[in-house]
Structure 1
Amino acid sequence: MTSSISILQDVFENYKCAVYERDVEKFLSTYAADVHIYDCWGNWECKGISLWRDNVIEWFNGLRDDGYY
């Protein structure tokens, strides 16, 4: 169980750092190439990492330096 918690903590830390740094590739590294995302912003559905990458780039470009929109 401890190793599972550690893995989850690593995923959350990667997510947090990637968003803070606006590092698209780091952010996408936790997703499979055939990811299927349902999102609330812009495109409601993304099938595949390339479409998800486009949404993430748009999201990161919309962040201000303080981390908010």
Structure 2
Amino acid sequence: MGKVDHKEILRTDIYFHKPMTPEEAVLQLEAIDKGFLVFINAETNRMSIIYHRRDGHYALIESRR
């Protein structure tokens, strides 16, 4: 077996408890100048992640129930 590099996992606090739409999440993401934002989607009531893609667009990941 090859050697496994152990990387430190750093905790980050980029979560908004107030439900918001994906459009509002984009505005918050731009305001905090981070790569992603975890939030509750007000349209679906699901935990979601929005992130800035390399092509300049945004991507939305939603949890399943």
Question: Which bracket does the TM-score occupy, shorter chain normalised?
Answer: under 0.3
| Higher helix content, 1 or 2 | 1
TM-score by length of 1: 0.26
TM-score by length of 2: 0.27
